[in-house]
Structure 1
Amino acid sequence: MKLSLQDIPRVKEISKEDFLKDYFIPQRPVVFEDLSADWPATKKWNLDYFQEKAGDIVVPLYDSKPATGKKKSHGPAMKIKMREYIEILKAGPTDLRMFFFNLLQNVPELLNDFKYPDLGVKFFKKLPVLFVGGEGGKVVMHYDMDLANNFHFNFVGEKRVILFPPEETKFLYKVPYSIVSMEIIDMDNPDFNTYPALAKAKGFEVRLKHGEALFIPSKWWHFIKYESPCLSLTLRSLPISAKKILEVLNNVILVRNFDNLMRRLKGQRWIDYKNECAIKNTHKNARIE
């Protein structure tokens, strides 16, 4: 048995009017095949280029191990220079990932290698962020805490991306007081006997290659597997509706801080409790006995 997934629509050229009408306003994902075709980044960005331009910058790296005990949910596994990290990527499979590397703060000269596309969308230009991962690395199923609309440009390698719309949340074993699915679930090869509700979820997938970009709508769940070492850039458009802004504030100020407080107070008992609730709530909502 496999997840119920359909291919994400693809476009070669699209006007901003059609993008807004067909994808942005109705909040549907789409793959742009040539949106960055004329960017210097599409030709220049590779692992060697970043070793040269940002090799001395110390970057936090994250692995696939779930946080346990009293650890914060988003703590790095280590910090090393980017030059050393890229050597690890070149050496073979690794689950070490670098995410949310802010180009504006760290390597501002690289801002000249790309431009914000004219899609009728207001981008948050203070946060162009880089995501890098090694072959075999996986990112747990989650949605973004700030509920941004993401435009994810891939420049190195190939990655598999699985998306689920917000209305499928009831089948995805969402962990209470968080924006993630249960970290033990491998969406690349899910155990349907243990997590049967996943069989009811309807989603989308794509294998994103060099030069392609993916629009991930606000609050859409996404899981990523690095089929090879990958380097990608995400440009973000923040929510403007009052309802979503309030939800973002709740996520950032209340939910995250409460969760970290409970981790410090109760440690692993809190994590186990949340996972038990995730299973119980999902099976109840999915009507699984």
Structure 2
Amino acid sequence: MSDFNLVDKVEGITKEEFKEQYLSAQRPVIFKDLTKNWLARKKWTFDFFRKQYGEWEIPMYDDSYHDPGNGYMKPTTYKRFGDYLDIIQHKPTSLRFHNFQIMKRAPELANDYKTPTIMDGFMKFALMFFGGQGSALNLHYDIDCSHVFLSHFQTQKVVYLYPPDQSEFLYKLPFTNHSHVDVLDPDLERYPAFKHAKGFKAVIEHGETLFIPKLWWHYVYYSKGGFSLALRANDSIKTKVQGASNLLRLFAFDSGMNYLAGQRWKRYKDNKAIQNAQRAMMNLGVG
């Protein structure tokens, strides 16, 4: 596994300092106090979600999320939300509940957090992510090109990050925003270029917020069962246009080709990613 630099943790930083040191520099950082005035910091517990929304039927995702075929990027099963919360609170599981659009399903939860003022361009769009101990969200970057502010609650989450210029060493799959490399247990015989990737490690505790710059790769690991809120910001018309283009050009095309070609499409992407990584190693004079 590649070596990691630890992501900075800051407190009391100003908007100007954030822009100079992290936003303009495109560097991740963890805010210790961005949520200090949020109701959610104390209110959002396993018991709260269980009591308020435990009867929901929710989609479940696991490690088969990117397997080719009819189940590509689709739920593995459905569970009662309260039952799922019981599982992730008390024992490991690979099942995740992600991309939960709280503004649609439970708009009242928006009263429990505040739009940060640390930068301009925040969207009303918000997502929540739930996972059990040992589960992970595969290595990817956010397709809409937004900056992400990920606030974690109750437990601990670990995020491994890589800047965009490391994409070829990560075996980026063409026409997608994903990689098959398992950051915590990489197959270096199949993915030898990965050992040259230069990354960062962020350990997020309860109430802390990780800033993930646009187009940065991240592998999200639940060291303990818990949940997070992701807010997004976009400070550029150019990246808004790029994000919209990605949604059409990448997501729609990739999903269509998977439907039409299945395993053949997967093999093409895998082989192309390997070729690109081999070229990157040659440019480094290694491999």
Q: Specify if TM > 0.5.
A: yes
Question: What's the offset of the Cα at 1:66?
Answer: 4.6
Aligned residue runs from structure 1 range 56-95, under 5 A: 56-71=55-70, 73-95=72-94
* Contact preservation (8 Å) 2:89, 2:226: no
**What whole-Å deviation, never above 9, does each CA across 1:89-120 have from its counterpart, x for those lacking one?**
13411011111111111112211211112113
Per mean C-alpha deviation after superposition, the further-off stretch among 28-37 and 254-263 is: 254-263
Q: 1:198 aligns with which of 191, 194, 201?
A: 194
Q: 1:157 aligns with which of 155, 158, 161?
A: 155
* Contact preservation (8 Å) 2:9, 2:30: yes
1:5 aligns with 2:4: yes
Q: 2:209 aligns with which of 202, 206, 213?
A: 213
Partners in 1 of 2:276 and 2:121 — Cα distance? 37
Partners in 1 of 2:245 and 2:121 — Cα distance? 23
TM-score of the two chains, using structure 2 as the length reference: 0.94
* Contact preservation (8 Å) 1:121, 1:237: yes
- For residue 261 of structure 1, give the secondary structure of its aligned residue in structure 2: helix
1:41 maps to 40
1:223 maps to 219
Partners in 2 of 1:197 and 1:259 — Cα distance? 24
Question: What's the offset of the Cα at 1:238?
Answer: 2.9
Question: What's the offset of the Cα at 1:250?
Answer: 2.5
Per mean C-alpha deviation after superposition, the further-off stretch among 84-93 and 26-35 is: 84-93
**Structure 1 gap ranges (5+):** none
- For residue 286 of structure 1, give the secondary structure of its aligned residue in structure 2: helix
* Contact preservation (8 Å) 2:120, 2:235: no
Question: What's the offset of the Cα at 1:240?
Answer: 2.2
Q: 2:262 aligns with which of 263, 267, 278?
A: 267
Question: What's the offset of the Cα at 1:6?
Answer: 0.2
Question: What is the aligned length?
Answer: 284
Question: What's the offset of the Cα at 1:281?
Answer: 1.4
Partners in 2 of 1:28 and 1:46 — Cα distance? 30
1:53 maps to 52
2:271 maps to 276
Partners in 2 of 1:214 and 1:263 — Cα distance? 33
Aligned residue runs from structure 1 range 87-236, under 5 A: 87-125=86-124, 127-182=125-180, 185-236=181-232
**What whole-Å deviation, never above 9, does each CA across 1:43-74 have from its counterpart, x for those lacking one?**
12111111112222222111012533422532
- For residue 56 of structure 1, give the secondary structure of its aligned residue in structure 2: coil
1:254 aligns with 2:249: yes
Query: Runs (4+) of structure 1 moved beyond 3 Å?
Result: 66-69
Per mean C-alpha deviation after superposition, the further-off stretch among 185-194 and 15-24 is: 185-194
**Structure 2 gap ranges (5+):** none
**What whole-Å deviation, never above 9, does each CA across 1:148-177 have from its counterpart, x for those lacking one?**
100000012111110001111121100111
Partners in 2 of 1:9 and 1:90 — Cα distance? 28
Partners in 2 of 1:119 and 1:38 — Cα distance? 14
> Equivalent pairs: percent with the same residue?
36
Q: What amino acid is aligned across from residue 244 of structure 2 in structure 1?
A: L
Question: What's the offset of the Cα at 1:241?
Answer: 3.3
**What whole-Å deviation, never above 9, does each CA across 1:166-220 have from its counterpart, x for those lacking one?**
11112110011100012xx210122323312111111110211111110000000
- For residue 128 of structure 1, give the secondary structure of its aligned residue in structure 2: strand
Q: What amino acid is aligned across from residue 101 of structure 1 in structure 2?
A: F
TM-score of the two chains, using structure 1 as the length reference: 0.93
* Contact preservation (8 Å) 2:70, 2:259: yes
- Please give the root-mean-square deviation of Cα atoms over the aligned residues, in Å: 1.6
Question: What's the offset of the Cα at 1:249?
Answer: 2.6
Question: What's the offset of the Cα at 1:23?
Answer: 1.0
Partners in 2 of 1:24 and 1:105 — Cα distance? 29
* Contact preservation (8 Å) 2:31, 2:208: yes
- For residue 221 of structure 2, give the secondary structure of its aligned residue in structure 1: strand
